[in-house]
Amino acid sequence: MAGGIKMGFMRLMQNLQDPQHVARFQRLCGVRGVEARDRLSNGASCVGHGYNVSQNGGGDGIRRRAPEIETDREKRNNGVADDCARDERRVDGSEQDSARGSTVKPMRRNSLTGDVGQEFLVENKLLFYLFMLGTELGNELFYICFFPNFMWNVDAFVSRRLVVVWVWVMYLGQCTKDVIRRPRPASPPVVKVEMFYNSEYSMPSTHAMSGTAIPLSLFLITYGRWEYPLLLGVSLAIGWCVVVCLSRIYMGMHSILDVIVGFLYSLLILLIFGPALDTIDTFNQTHPYAPVLIVSLHLGLGLFSFTLDTWSTSRGDTAQILGSGAGIALASHLNHRLGLLSDPPVSMLPLQPPAFTLSMIGLCALRFLLGVIILLVTRAVMKALTIPLVCWVFGIPSNDVRKARQHMEVELPYRYIVYGTVGFNSLFLVPFVFAHIGLL
């Protein structure tokens, strides 16, 4: 009985990992690779299923060839044969297909290989832009805008706790990827709509983890602290989570199983660390030894995560997240001492959302624009100073910055210093400037 349940569970896991499900979802949403169709229209055939994986940026990529890929080759070849048969039936209507959609290149090239990926056909632009938005909700540009803006214009109390959740979820997710070492969905049959993270391992989906943890934590922390309808908060959290999770399948970056594991893993982390948020935030703000422990803890976690088999964007992202979290935690300690962005007294809770007037919207927009400019300038200046300095210290050539950053000796201090400074400035320098020019 137990053996039958175990076998059934393993078959379910293998089924959810099948890249054919990802390819079917992409076709359902109007995404199709153009390579097979173009070859057929030029007189080529699908004999041998000769897709060029190196050209289209296969999920297993140049970085790894895991054993799981080889054992699934026959299954993929059968799936490719089905795709070729479908493409043959579409050849006569290929011009109509092109008229209904537009051919585009993947989002951002792979930062490890420089691979720009395979062109693909988008037949549903609404879904394309929706899932582009969903995947951006887990990228650096969103984080550098969302967390600071929440600090400056909404509630620093909530933002500090969200950052703690984000750091733990992303750190554990990235480390787990490099322990499990599951490859990205195979291409073909999957179309790589995004290429930037293609060299990383796949399980769990850290986009799904952050897309679950951030909106859920936002709801749990703000509900009762701020007055707003319960249905609004629940709807926003669910919608955010669903769009981010589905976007990773749409982009061809994750299997269904990767997304489910990321979702459940995020819930488990919240269940464990959620009750400790108040304790962690209070310690960061008030304990006299908090700065020493913050730096030591984040640096130690980063050193542990840097024991990877080879370089990928995962290692740099982990250091970047830890550096940002350390900088924000240090700033919260200094802010508490100086009284910057102080939390409202408990007697004022629950807080009432302010009336939306033109002056209030203009003030928030001014804070956001000025603050983001300061952070972007901070990042650019610190990058320009830190990378050559670290390369000089460790005797690593800095003429090729991309290769230099792949050395652990460069990447660890570079990411920590740059993004630690960005995080620190977001919660200290920017509010300090606002206070002195009358924007607080």
What distance in Å separates the CA atoms of residue 153 and residue 363, rounded to the nearest whole number? 9
Asked if the peptide bond before residue 291 counts as cis, ω within 30 degrees of 0, the response is no
Spatial contact of 66 and 181, defined as CB atoms under 8 Å apart: yes
Using an 8 Å Cβ cutoff, are 422 and 144 in contact?
yes
Between the CA atoms of 345, 347, 352 and 357, what dihedral angle is there, to the nearest 10 degrees? -50
Per annotation, catalytic residue among 254, 287, 298, 333: 254
Q: How far does CA 235 lie from the centroid of its chain?
A: 22
- Residues 280 and 272: their CA atoms lie apart, in Å, by 13
Active-site pick, 21, 207, 298, 333? 207
DSSP code of residue 302: H
Q: Order of strands across the sheet with 102-104?
A: 31-33, 120-122, 102-104
| Contact predicate 79/20, CB 8 Å | yes
Residues 6+ apart with CB under 8 A from 287: 293
| Cis bond upstream, residue 189 (ω within 30) | yes
Q: Is 254 a catalytic residue?
A: yes
- DSSP H/E element including 298: helix 290-305
Half-sphere exposure of 181 (CA within 13 A, CB side): 11
Active site residues: 207, 254
